[in-house]
C-alpha cells in the first residue's frame, strides 16, 4: 500500500509493480495528480538554476536526479517529452 500519489508514490508503485507486487495507492488527489508538487511545478529539475540560491549539495543532487530521470524515462514503452535545453533566470539573486 502506497500513501500519496505524488512523484515518489507513483515511482515507488511503478517499481513495485515491475517486480511483481500488487499495489494500492491511497490519495486524496485525482487520477492525474493535479494537486501534487510534480504536477504544479511541472516536475522541473533545474540544478544549475537552483545553484543560484541553494547550497552546492542541492545542485549536485539535481545533477544526479537528471541522470536518474533519463534512465527511468528510457524504460517506458512510449517516448516521454523531456527537454533539457536550459532554464531562463529572469531575476538573478545577485541583481538585487
pTM score of the predicted model: 0.62
Within this chain, do residues 1 and 35 fall inside the same structural domain, yes or no?
A: yes
pLDDT for 28: 92
Residue 92 lies in a domain: no
**pLDDT, tens digit only, all 96 positions of the chain:** 999 988 889 889 999 999 999 999 999 998 888 888 777 776 667 777 777 788 899 889 988 988 888 888 888 888 887 777 777 667 766 666
pLDDT for 43: 61
3-state DSSP assignment of residue 2: strand
Cα gap 58→69, rounded to integer Å: 16
Please count the structural domains in the chain: 2
pLDDT for 69: 84
Range of the domain at 7: 1-43
CB environment 43-66: b (16+ within 10 A), e (fewer)? eebbbebbeeeeeeeebeebeeee
Within this chain, do residues 4 and 35 fall inside the same structural domain, yes or no?
A: yes
pLDDT for 42: 63
Residue 95 lies in a domain: no
Amino acid at each position: 500500500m502506497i500513501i500519496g500519489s505524488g512523484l515518489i508514490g507513483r515511482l515507488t508503485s511503478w517499481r513495485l509493480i515491475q517486480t511483481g507486487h500488487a499495489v494500492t495507492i491511497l490519495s486524496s488527489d485525482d487520477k492525474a495528480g493535479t494537486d501534487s508538487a510534480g504536477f504544479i511545478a511541472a516536475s522541473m529539475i533545474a540544478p544549475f538554476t537552483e545553484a543560484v540560491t541553494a547550497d552546492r549539495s542541492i545542485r549536485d543532487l539535481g545533477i544526479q536526479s537528471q541522470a536518474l530521470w533519463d534512465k527511468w524515462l528510457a524504460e517506458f514503452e512510449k517516448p516521454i517529452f523531456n527537454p533539457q535545453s536550459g532554464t531562463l533566470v529572469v531575476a538573478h539573486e545577485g541583481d538585487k
